[in-house]
Amino acid sequence: MAKITQLSQLDLNGTYSYADYLTWQFDEVVELIKGKITLMSPAPNVNHQSISWGFSGVLYNYLKHKPCKAFTAPFDVRLYDRKKSIVANKEVHTVVQPDLCVICDMDKLDKQGCLGAPDWIIEILSTGNSKKEMQTKYALYEESGVKEYWMIYPYEKAVHQFVLDEVSGKYQLIAMFSNEDIATPQTFPDLEIDLNDVFTD
């Protein structure tokens, strides 16, 4: 098999697995969405990075003595339909890199990243990726069983909090926060996040 060192060597209309993904050796950062290559947006801007840093600090302080771990992009999260079983990398066709994710089941972690749904994912939307996060990733996270999903709107300084209903298997929008609010994840009900500190200018 030829070594893949440039994105141009791949068929962007082709279908690939995580096993393929592991062999690629080019500089571009990509995600796989049900086997299809998706180019990541350009490097995040200062506002995006500032918000990510704010959440990272909160999560670090909160989780450092708890049996859960938080990770920031780039970090491979391999997802699959929770109704199906996975036995090999060649059967995984979705790998994403959430801005932040929290995992409490340590069995899901390996040297490549996370196999299976994190407990909580935070995505910070931008002009280049908001449609992907709002539609494609929303459906992926719901299907794969991510229990809690936060969409962050940097310019509006707003947070939409979705929680998975275990009966219907669908997300419910349970809260919309502004930068003036204290936000609490359902995953960690004793964690209070002052969003004014996160949305600093």
- Could you state, in order of their start, the residue ranges of all structural domains in the chain? 46-75+96-198
- Predicted local distance difference test score (pLDDT) of residue 130: 61
pTM of the model as a whole: 0.92
- Predicted local distance difference test score (pLDDT) of residue 90: 74
Beta strands 76-79 and 113-115, pairing class = parallel
Buried b (16+ CB within 10 A) or exposed e, 184-200: ebeebeeeebebeebbe
- Contact between 66 and 77 under an 8 Å Cβ cutoff? The reply is no
Other CB atoms closer than 10 Å to residue 180's CB: what's the count? Answer: 10
pLDDT along the chain (201 residues), means of 10: 86 93 90 90 82 96 95 94 67 93 97 96 82 84 96 95 96 97 98 95 66
- Predicted local distance difference test score (pLDDT) of residue 43: 65
- Predicted local distance difference test score (pLDDT) of residue 88: 67
- Predicted local distance difference test score (pLDDT) of residue 178: 97
Q: Which CATH class is domain 46-75+96-198?
A: alpha beta
